[in-house]
Structure 1
């Protein structure tokens, strides 16, 4: 058995997948793996948090003491 990895530009992706999926050959298995960037662009991060109000840490008056308590729990 052999494995082939193809990097395909978005503009021809649909055509290549159409061609491959229509090959009716015994022993051919097509596995589609979608790759995503581990770090989204800054614009996507900003859009994600644009309408959010995070107040999770406002109740912590002494951050150092809070960290110590978290470690002590472990």
Structure 2
């Protein structure tokens, strides 16, 4: 028996798995080892992360009871 290890991008992963699953599976064992690599940090995602690290309680305007009325 031989082992083949492939590293594929997300955009072709489903195609590769479709192909493998349609082969004769009597002599094939598919072992998925999915690894999600952290994407490169972009300015937009770093700004989003910085914003999400703040608590709403730190923003004075949001503490106002009238601010909640907009959602009622």
Q: Identify which of structures 1 and 2 has the higher relative contact order when contacts are C-alpha pairs closer than 8 Å and 6+ apart.
A: 1
Relative to its length, the structure with more helix (as a share) is: 2
How high is the TM-score relative to the length of structure 2? Answer: 0.47
TM-score (norm 1): 0.47
